[in-house]
């Protein structure tokens, strides 16, 4: 005799791209490979330091020319498919939630006077701290890609 157990509650199957104190270099003109995960140290008042593996990129705040913050919201399709496969109809609940990715785009002038750009994906818990630190130390105002992005971080 076979018995089956039906779960009446969804189990979260959420996998965030960036978690905790991690930051991801999503792209730009630097020699850092895209989708490189690392940490962003903001302790030095003169520069931010992105450390990835055994390498690091130092970003003096005075080289920053533009700061822009944006979000990308998407449905949790992968989690929904996995939830449906594992739990049937209750697993579809993930489709009704959204994941939000947080991006800081930085335009800068390197030590050779060349324009460069980098896009960092930030973890949800560090967005406000990173934005306020960059704004204070660079003297540049954050530009928001949309009113929704501005509203979602409480600006």
Whichever domain contains 55, its CATH number is 2.30.29.30
Give me the pLDDT at residue 90, please: 57
Residue 14 lies in a domain: no
Domain count, the chain: 1
Give me the pLDDT at residue 150, please: 85
Assess whether pLDDT exceeds 60 at residue 124: yes
Give me the pLDDT at residue 132, please: 96
Q: Which domain holds residue 69?
A: 22-152
CA dist 137 and 134 (Å) reads 5
Give me the pLDDT at residue 155, please: 61
Whole-prediction pTM? 0.74
Residue 5 lies in a domain: no
Give me the pLDDT at residue 112, please: 94
**Is the separation of the CB atoms in 101 and 17 below 8 Å?**
yes
Q: Is 1 exposed, middle or buried (0-12, 13-18, 19+ CB in 10 A)?
A: exposed
Residue bearing tokens 């905790």: 20
Of 120, 113, 115, 108, nearest to 59 by C-alpha is 108
**Is the separation of the CB atoms in 132 and 153 below 8 Å?**
no
Residue 15 lies in a domain: no
Residue 33 lies in a domain: yes
pLDDT digits (tens, 9 = 90+) for 62-109: 999 999 999 986 544 444 444 445 555 555 554 455 578 999 999 999
Residue 31 lies in a domain: yes
8-state DSSP, 71: E
Residue 2 lies in a domain: no
Residue bearing tokens 């929904």: 80
pLDDT digits (tens, 9 = 90+) for 23-50: 999 999 999 999 999 999 999 999 999 9
């Amino acid at each position: 005799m076979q018995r089956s157990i039906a779960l009446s509650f969804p189990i979260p199957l959420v996998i965030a791209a960036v978690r905790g104190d991690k930051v991801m270099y999503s792209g730009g003109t630097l020699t850092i490979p895209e989708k490189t995960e690392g940490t962003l140290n903001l302790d030095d008042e003169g520069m931010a330091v992105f450390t990835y593996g055994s390498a690091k990129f130092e970003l003096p705040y005075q080289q920053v020319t533009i700061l822009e913050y944006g979000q990308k919201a998407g449905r949790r399709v992968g989690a929904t498919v996995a939830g449906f496969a594992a739990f049937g109809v209750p697993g579809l609940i993930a489709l009704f939630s959204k994941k939000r990715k947080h991006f800081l785009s930085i335009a800068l002038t390197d030590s050779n006077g060349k324009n460069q750009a980098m896009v960092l994906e930030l973890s949800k818990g560090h967005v406000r701290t990173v934005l306020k630190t960059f704004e204070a130390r660079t003297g540049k105002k954050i530009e928001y890609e949309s009113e929704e992005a501005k509203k979602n971080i409480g600006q």
